[in-house]
Amino acid sequence: MCQHDGVRVQPVTPDGAVEHVVERVLATDGTVRVLVDGHPSTGTAAFADATVAPLRAAGRPVARVAVRDFLRARSVRLESGRRDPDALLDAWIDVEALNREVLTSVVRRGRWLPGLRDPDTGRSTRAAYEDAPRGTVVVLDGTLALRRGLDVDLTVHLALTVAAETRATPLDDAWQLAAYGRYRREVQPERRADVVVRVDHPDRPALVLR
């Protein structure tokens, strides 16, 4: 473990990083809503998926949800064009729908909606509501999702250095780098998230402990 300016970095295995998050969840009774956030290349979906089995083994019901299934209608999020970095950061996620149909609903109404819109076609998924008994853990993954107003209890950020983020962004998606830069400056995800895992080397992640 190394320490600099009050920040300790603890190398862990990929499984160890998942176990750390699962332990944080299991330390809380009742419904817990977890957000796993990070650049698309960090594997937020895989990380979120990996928490499901151990949570269920511990007796907790799990609602696995993806932000990409709750994007705003294409006519709204692409109003400024398909390559507007400010819109990507500010206007793509349908925060109101995610809170209403999932994050707030599991607590107030005991149910949740697996998806609202197909992210590619924009059409309704016509998904049916599922029950959320007490103790349900919502595991949500997405990109640029911290501090968006999502009603969550525990936030996880899979962090990359700027250089690694740039290398991991395909040339066709280079326009998105401006959104990631704004996100880093304005949201400061490595300071805001409850759990930060550095994943510049996916096979050798490290927990950032403050």
Write the pLDDT tens digit of every residue in 138-167.
999 999 999 999 999 999 999 999 999 999
Residue 2's pLDDT is: 56
CA distances from 194 to 8, 12, 110, 124 (A): 14, 17, 25, 33
Write the pLDDT tens digit of every residue in 44-86.
999 999 999 999 999 999 999 999 999 998 888 888 888 999 9
Residue 39's pLDDT is: 98
Burial class (CB in 10 A: 0-12, 13-18, 19+), 201: exposed
Residue 170's pLDDT is: 96
Q: pLDDT-based confidence at 5, cuts 50/70/90?
A: low
Give the domain range for residue 83.
2-209
Count the domains in the chain: 1
149: left (phi over 0), alpha (psi -120 to 50) or beta: left
**CATH code, 199:** 3.40.50.300
> 118 or 122, which is more confident?
118
pTM of the complete model beyond 0.85: yes
